[in-house]
Amino acid sequence: MSEPRNLAGSGQMFDIESPMAIELRRIMIRLSRHLDFDRKRALMVTSAQRGEGKSLFALHFSLVLAYHMAKRIVLVDADVRRPVQHGVFEVDLAPGFANALAGEMSATKAVRKTSIKNLDFMSAGRVEGNPSRLFGGQSVRRLVEELHGTYDLVLLDSPPVVPVSDPLHYLDAVDGCLYMVMAGQTPRDVSKRGVEILRSAGANILGLVANNLGEVLPYYYDQKYYGYESSKKARKA
pLDDT in tens, 179-228: 998 877 878 899 999 999 999 999 999 988 887 655 444 544 444 333 33
What pLDDT was estimated at residue 179?
Answer: 94
CATH no. for residue 96? 3.40.50.300
- Name the average pLDDT for the chain: 83
Beta strands 41-47 and 153-157, pairing class: parallel
C-alpha 150/C-alpha 133 separation (Å) is: 27
C-alpha 103/C-alpha 207 separation (Å) is: 33
Q: Which of 149, 131, 150, 151 is nearest to 139 (CA)?
A: 131
C-alpha 104/C-alpha 194 separation (Å) is: 32
- φ/ψ of 50, rounded to 5, equals -70, 160
Task: Examine the pLDDT at 34 and tell me if it is beyond 50.
Answer: yes
Choice among 52-56, 87-91, 196-200, 228-232 with the minimum mean pLDDT: 228-232
Of residues 22 and 46, more confidence is placed in 46
Its domain, for residue 207, covers 4-236
Q: Quick one: CA dihedral 26, 32, 34, 35, positive or negative?
A: positive
Task: Examine the pLDDT at 77 and tell me if it is beyond 80.
Answer: yes
Q: What is the mean pLDDT of residues 68-75?
A: 94
pLDDT in tens, 124-142: 999 887 888 888 878 999 9
Q: What is the mean pLDDT of residues 99-113?
A: 94
User: What is the number of domains present in the chain?
Assistant: 1
Q: Which of 191, 219, 193 is nearest to 207 (CA)?
A: 219
- N-to-C CA span, the chain: 53
C-alpha 70/C-alpha 59 separation (Å) is: 18
